[in-house]
Amino acid sequence: MSKAIRIHAQGGPGVLSYEEVAVDAPGPGEIRVRQTAVGLNYIDTYHRSGLYPLPNLPSGIGLEAAGVVEAVGDGVANLKVGQRIAYGAGPLGAYAEERNLPASKVVPLPDSIGDQQAAAMMLQGMTVEYLIRRTYPVSAGETVLFHAAAGGVGLIACQWLNHLGVTVIGTVGSEEKAELAAAHGCHHTINYRTENVPEKVAALTDGVGVPVVYDGVGRDTFHASLDCLQRRGLMVSFGNASGPPPDINPAILTQKGSLFLTRPTLMDYVATEQEMRNCAAALFEVVGSGAVQIRVNQTYALAEAQQAHEDLEGRKTTGSTVLIP
């Protein structure tokens, strides 16, 4: 038997239950992993709360971890017992000491990337890869707006955008977070609790606006984000940290300058094994070169997942967080 967090009903952090679970031998195409670090992500709170429905209850939770291969099932040729691996796009059930998952969902870890670092970066880092290279491929010299710049996705985005020669305007909820974002390559910070974001963006862009806004905050920022875009700009609404974005009439996109709107998810950008491997390889390259540094700003024991969720939803965390089984 081993330990895992399970949920029997969706709701507040109290539904996260630390339990004994049996882990079978891996099936065909699967590996069993002893996990050493589990990534905490905002999407875990949506799976827990019910904002995102789950196919079956009770259910495991969590999409990201690093660890060591303990056993391989039939047909797995590319991984060996003892090999270090990580994953960041599920399947659900990462909050666990041990688990089985498809070999096609994991990547081998280079020696240069530690387990905690891997668990801190796979989901958030692959997200940054697809947002800035594939959803709206940024170009050197452009200025973009990235919300929650001191968060997990945010700190990776600031560094990667900076590395690509892009000027980053980042929103933050406090002075400390502004300093942290600036130290990670965010050129201009806006405290969206106290400042008018469209006015500041206009001032920083000679009144033109930005070609793209990356908005993972959702409800509280959605309309202001549209007001920060230049004509024919792209609104990338990729999360709901403050709640889901409002329903909109498409005519608003016309009124604000023939804007484009997309609501992407990582799962559609790493939908095939090859896409996932390419995405992870691009992340490993910028981390390996030192252009993007991954620091784990918070760690919790896996058994303390409730507290970790409360702190993440309470805006108490910065950067990436890992749970230690």
Ligand X SMILES: NC(=O)c1ccc[n+]([C@@H]2O[C@H](COP(=O)([O-])OP(=O)(O)OC[C@H]3O[C@@H](n4cnc5c(N)ncnc54)[C@H](OP(=O)(O)O)[C@@H]3O)[C@@H](O)[C@H]2O)c1
6, 47, 99, 177: which one binds ligand X (CB under 6 A): 177
Q: Please check whether residue 294 is in contact with residue 121, taking contact to mean a CB–CB distance below 8 angstroms.
A: yes
Q: How far apart are CA 283 and CA 124, in angstroms?
A: 10
- Shortest spacing between CB 111 and ligand X, in angstroms: 26
Which of the ranges 21-29, 40-48, 75-83, 97-105 carries the binding residues for ligand X, by CB under 6 A?
Answer: 40-48
Provide Rg for the chain, Cα atoms.
Answer: 20
42, 160, 222, 284: which one binds ligand X (CB under 6 A): 42
- Shortest spacing between CB 152 and ligand X, in angstroms: 3
Q: Decide: residue 289, CB within 10 A, 0-12 exposed, 13-18 middle, 19+ buried.
A: exposed
Q: Please check whether residue 282 is in contact with residue 143, taking contact to mean a CB–CB distance below 8 angstroms.
A: no
How many chain residues are in contact with ligand X, going by CB under 6 A?
A: 30
Tell me the two tokens of residue 27. 């099936």
239, 245, 270, 276: which one binds ligand X (CB under 6 A): 239
First-to-final CA distance of the chain: 14
Element (H, E) at 87: strand 84-87
Residues 130 to 169: which contact ligand X by CB under 6 A? 148, 150-154
Q: How far apart are CA 152 and CA 162, in angstroms?
A: 16
Give backbone dihedrals phi and psi of 303, rounded to 5 degrees, phi first.
-65, -20
Asked whether position 270 contacts ligand X by CB under 6 A, the answer is: no
Angle between helices 115-130 and 273-288 (to 10 degrees): 110
Asked whether position 88 contacts ligand X by CB under 6 A, the answer is: no
Asked whether position 47 contacts ligand X by CB under 6 A, the answer is: no
70, 179, 220, 227: which one binds ligand X (CB under 6 A): 220
10, 240, 298, 306: which one binds ligand X (CB under 6 A): 240
7, 43, 144, 261: which one binds ligand X (CB under 6 A): 43
Asked whether position 173 contacts ligand X by CB under 6 A, the answer is: yes
| Closer of 52 and 58 to ligand X (Cβ) | 52
- Shortest spacing between CB 176 and ligand X, in angstroms: 9
Asked whether position 241 contacts ligand X by CB under 6 A, the answer is: yes
- Shortest spacing between CB 133 and ligand X, in angstroms: 13
- Shortest spacing between CB 28 and ligand X, in angstroms: 29
Adjacent-strand bridge partners of 87: 65
Give backbone dihedrals phi and psi of 230, rounded to 5 degrees, phi first.
-80, 170
Tell me the two tokens of residue 111. 């020696």
Coil, strand or helix at 212:
strand
| Closer of 26 and 216 to ligand X (Cβ) | 216
41, 189, 205, 298: which one binds ligand X (CB under 6 A): 41
Half-sphere exposure of 277 (CA within 13 A, CB side): 7
Residues that bind ligand X (CB under 6 A): 41-43, 123-124, 127, 148, 150-154, 172-173, 177, 216-217, 220, 238-242, 264-266, 312-313, 315, 317
